[in-house]
Structure 1
Amino acid sequence: MTVLDSRALNRATLARQLLLGRADLTALDAVTHLCGLQAQEPQEPFVGLWSRLSGFRPAALSDLVTGRRVVRTHLMRRTVHLVTAEDILAWRSRHDAMLRQRVLGTYRRELDGIDLDELAAAGRAVLADDEPRTMTELARTLAERWPSAGPRPLGELLIAGLLPVTQLPPRGLWRTKAGARYRLLSSWLGREIDPPSPDDGTDPVGQALVLRYLAAFGPAATADLRAWSGLAGLPSAVAALRDHLIGFRDERGRELLDLPDAPRPDPETPAPVRFLPAFDNAILGYHDRGRIIDDEHRGLSVAGARVVLVDGRVSATWNVDAGAVIVTPLRRFSRAEETAVTEEGQALSSFLTDGEGDQALIVAAS
């Protein structure tokens, strides 16, 4: 098998993640291609799409949320993602067991002995009136029936583990702060989620997830697929598709799978400076994140740091203060790199402030 070094994997990742050049795609097409955007911080997906799309307008994403074309919901890894309505309806059942198990793993003692089917039915009955409710309101409604669990574990089990629900706007709209209020997905979208498919070689949802993941993240190992989705690697789906995929090795000897015709650019392809939002899946979507971030900085990827890619790798963090984009390098920049980072930071500041922001600032690394 051909061995792909970290630079080859880096350029392939940037190409799949729309980070080698801003794509001429709609916001809906981009969210579809990327298999959703991690979105527990509601404003972060706007920066994620600005860094990836030509001429992106925040209103385009807000309109998709209010128009019920994309939804905010717990999905991959039990984290909040912004995904298309079509994808959540097709994928939610495939994630049911993982979502439930992850909540139970956190609150096993508090939730011990609770009949999950009974609790889910009770939660559905409360939400059947289509009145938006917060997690706390839903849990308190049922707390008398299950007093030993406590409202927090009950609420998280219902919202993140048992009930297919969505967070409603105005949460997730551009420059809007709002708490999370929930309705059933079927009520909000006017269609029931698709029934579960078998976890075997005939599993069309699992196969679709594998193919979609590779299109947006490949070449990748099954461990990367598992780290992205939270599912158990989808071994049956991978086995069923293997004859339609091609294989590589990374420098550690791991087998990497990919779509035959997917882009794998020359490793020397120039990579522009890109500002990534907190928890961007370009980093979190892999078990081995070395293709884009050095091991010494790996903790940034799970700490919610916003990062700057220079030559395709995490080389700085960034934040905003009074409209100015503040960049903190993780290594010394060349003069050309500092210029490129400053220019992109200025463009980001203009995006965030409607053209009224200050210049990007480069400050000493901590």
Structure 2
Amino acid sequence: MVEHVMGLQAQDNLPPYLSLAARVDGFSPADLSDLIEDRTLVRLFSMRGTVHVLTAADALTLRGWVQPALDRVSGTNQTSRPANHLTTEQLDAVVGPFLADGPQPHPEIGKALAAAYPDVAEEALRHVSRERLPLLQVPPRGLWKRSGGVVYQYVDRYLGQPFVEADVQDLVVRYLSAYGPATAADMTKWSLVTRLGPVFTAMAKDGRLVTVQDDKGRTLYDVQDAPVADEALELPALLLGMYDNIFLSHADRDRIAPDDARKAWMGVNGGVGSVLFLDGILAGLWKVDDGRVVVEPFTKPTRAQQAGIEAEIARVEALLAS
């Protein structure tokens, strides 16, 4: 599943567990923790300038593909800005040897960089290091109920494998297989990688993609023989994490989130709570209060929807108690 959705946003520890529990029957939190511990899955800064859980193979491919986007993030980040004049080579000249004997805590990496570049704020050096260098968070960070501090190692060193150059057309097919039909702008929203429009157009011309028109007259792209959802099918209630892929993988979220619902979720800085979906639409927020799941729908649910919400509450509370 992590491979299919091309990673799960994971700057907080809980959301990837919630995402998988909602998608995989019989999921146990130990399943994800075990895969992180045995290096099948890893945690690193990648799409959208945030930490994701990725397969090892995707970590070696996607990090390099999104690096130009991360460089842009670094250039606009107020915290990183005092260190932006340093090149990737200058950062690597310090961090590479520092990590030669094994992973190191992020604060120690900052201190090593500050010793080399004393005129730059240590906080800026810490931030720019994770944006510009392929640093992976080693366990126990991200493990279920036993997460530790942020300790880094280079991705390729940790996995013992070289980086692989991305085949962008293959990535487009994978993205659409998970999130299509969609536009190039949607894939850019998901990844922050720009200039994908010509790739989509060329793939459609070559027959690798099909096109459809949405109700706004826009051209959407999808893979050949993609399944078509039954519009009459009512989707079950879902309690998902604050930053679930279902909500973060398209530029146009109107199909799943009315404007007032998006504003309620966004608050002042974005992401004020975990999300409730009813029939595929953002319909409320939820939180955990003393071990109990408290749901706050935006509007009064129907009797059938309320039954679905209660079933979801029981499912998530059982997950949190495990």
What TM-score do you get using the length of structure 1 for normalisation? 0.82
Counterpart residue number, 1:347 = 315
Name the counterpart of 1:66: 37
- Tell whether 2:284 aligns with 1:284: no
The match for 2:181 among 207, 212, 219 is 219
> What residue ranges of structure 2 are gaps of 5+ in the alignment?
none
8 Å CA contact retained: 1:279, 1:304: no
**Could you tell me whether the CA contact under 8 Å between 2:9 and 2:16 is conserved in 1?**
yes
- Find the counterpart in structure 1 of residue 126 from structure 2: 155
Q: Deviations over 1:122-181 (max 9, x none)?
A: 221211221x222221011121322232111111111122x1121011111111232111
Is this contact kept in 1: 2:257–2:281, CA < 8 A? Answer: yes
Q: Aligned partners of 2:13 and 2:136: how far apart in 1?
A: 13
Moved more, 237-246 or 337-346: 237-246
Q: How many residues are treated as equivalent by the alignment? A: 315
Asked whether the equivalents of residues 91 and 205 of structure 1 are also in contact (C-alpha less than 8 Å), the reply is: no
Give the C-alpha shift of residue 310 in structure 1.
Answer: 0.9
Alignment of 1:200-211 (within 5 A): 205-211=167-173
* Aligned partner (choices 69, 75, 93) of residue 98 of structure 1: 69
Partner of 2:101: 129
Structure 2 equivalent of residue 234 of structure 1: 196
SS of 1:328's equivalent in the other structure is strand
Shift of 1:109: 4.5
In structure 2, what is the Cα distance between the partners aligned to 1:78 and 1:129?
Answer: 27
Structure 1 125/239 Cα, relative in aligned 2: closer, same or farther at 3 Å?
farther
- State which of 44, 49, 52 in structure 1 corresponds to 2:20: 49
Call closer, same or farther: CA 1:287–1:92 in 2, change over 3 Å.
same
2:232 aligned residue: 268
Give the C-alpha shift of residue 239 in structure 1. 3.6
Runs of 4+ in 1 over 6 A off after TM superposition: none
The match for 2:56 among 82, 85, 110 is 85
Tell me, yes or no, if the aligned pair for 1:43 and 1:175 is still in contact at 8 Å. no
In 2, Cα distance between equivalents of 1:109 and 1:245: 40
State yes or no: 1:316 paired with 2:316. Answer: no
| 1:104–1:157 CA contact under 8 A, matched in 2 | no
CA distance in 1, matches of 2:36, 2:54: 10
| 1:234 CA displacement | 2.3
- Is this contact kept in 1: 2:111–2:122, CA < 8 A? yes
Q: Secondary structure at the match of 2:254?
A: helix
Q: Secondary structure at the match of 1:289?
A: coil
Change (3 A) 1:236 1:117: farther
Deviations 1:188-227, CA, capped at 9 Å, x for gaps: 1011212x4xxxxxxx521121111101100001110100
Cα distance in 2 for partners of 1:221, 1:57 equals 34
Amino acid at match of 2:292: A
Residues 279-308 of structure 1: CA deviation (Å, up to 9, x unaligned): 111001111111111111214153152111
Q: State the distance in 1 between where 2:240 and 2:114 align.
A: 40
Fraction of identical pairs, as percent:
34
1:325 aligned partner:
293
Cα distance, 1:39 vs structure 2: 0.5
Shift of 1:186: 1.4
**Are the equivalent residues in 2 in contact too, given 1:38–1:45 (CA < 8 A)?**
yes
Query: What's the secondary structure of 2:116's corresponding residue?
Result: coil
2:110–2:126: 8 Å Cα contact kept in structure 1?
Answer: yes
Contact 1:318–1:325, Cα closer than 8 Å, also in 2: yes
SS in 2 for 1:290: coil
| Shift in alpha-carbon separation, 1:175–1:120, aligned structure 2, 3 A | same
- 1:109–1:188 Cα change, 3 Å: closer
Q: Which amino acid aligns with 2:42?
A: V
Once the two structures are overlaid, the 10-residue window that deviates more, 112-121 or 335-344, is 112-121
Q: Distance in 1 between matches of 2:68 and 2:300?
A: 46
Please say which of residues 295-304 and 327-336 is displaced more in the overlay: 295-304
Query: Is residue 111 from structure 1 mapped to residue 83 from structure 2 by the alignment?
Result: yes
- The code of the aligned residue for 2:177 comes to A
Q: Does 1:334 align with 2:302?
A: yes
